[in-house]
Amino acid sequence: MILILGGTSTTHEIIKTLSNSDYIISVTTEYGYSEFNKRYPSKVLHTRFTTGSLTKFIKEKSIKQVIDSTHPHAKEITKNAIEVCTALNIPYINKIRTLEDIHYNRMHMFTSYDDAAAFVQEKGYKSVLITTGSNNIDKFAGIADVSYARVLPFEKSLQACLDAGFHYSRIIAMQGPFSESFNIALIHEINADCFVTKNSGTGSGYAEKISACEKCGIDMVTVQPE
């Protein structure tokens, strides 16, 4: 049995290569479970592993290999998986998508959401498009009245935005990834002068966000894992 730590587009690519191998996919979000369970019914587990629960699961299910295709920002599960696989002496295979290394002269890079939010607030932008997701949207509560949050179309995501002070009219609930042209159109629609995002790696739509900001000539604030 192979355990795939997943929830990204890379996970689908890995599954294609497994042929008739027996596997199970673990995801940590409601969105991930919904999407993957449609395509791989009875193969998806919705859980957030700790070192203890992962160790127990691997032993109970006789897992022979762990493939990590989690989000580049999901540092905790990657750390836990490496630690557990090393302790149990089973192969750990890293298939996390590579972070984009693209530079833009109006890009400001931060390693924490707190620092990114503080910078945006200090700069006093008039219209900010925030695309970092709902998990950290509360960090931007101080600029909710001048910002638009683009998040996944789930009740939990919408509620997180509302709790952070975003009005319904400032929540854009859509599923990506989005093209460069779509990002440009949205930037123009809300007259954005700053685009906040995170570096989610190759194939995540991050490159399209950069090119859109460059063509529109606006500032970009990026949160990137250390």
**Mind listing the pLDDT tens digit of every residue in the chain (226 residues)?**
999 998 887 888 898 888 778 999 999 888 788 888 888 988 999 999 999 999 999 999 999 999 998 877 778 899 999 999 999 999 999 987 776 667 788 999 998 999 999 999 999 999 999 999 999 999 999 999 999 999 999 899 999 999 999 999 999 999 888 999 999 999 999 999 999 998 877 667 888 999 999 999 999 999 986 6
Contact 101, 224 (CB under 8 A): no
What pLDDT, on the 0 to 100 scale, is given for residue 84?
Answer: 95
Distance CA 43, CA 16 (A): 14
Amino acid, res. 179: S
- Closest C-alpha to 158, from 132, 175, 124, 134: 134
- Structure token digits, residue 6: 């997943």
**Predicted local distance difference test score (pLDDT) of residue 4:** 95
User: What is the model's pLDDT at position 151?
Assistant: 96
Please report the pLDDT score of residue 72 as a whole number.
Answer: 76
What structural domains does the chain harbor? 2-94 (3.40.50.20), 107-223 (3.40.50.620)
pLDDT for the residue numbered 169: 97
This prediction's pTM? 0.70
pLDDT of residue 25: 94
pLDDT at 226: 62
DSSP 100: P
pLDDT the model gives residue 102: 72
> 216-226 pLDDT, tens per residue?
999 999 998 66
State how far the Cα of 226 lies from the Cα of 160, in Å rounded to an integer.
25
Distance CA 79, CA 196 (A): 27
Q: How far is residue 107's CA from residue 213's CA, in Å, rounded to a whole number?
A: 9
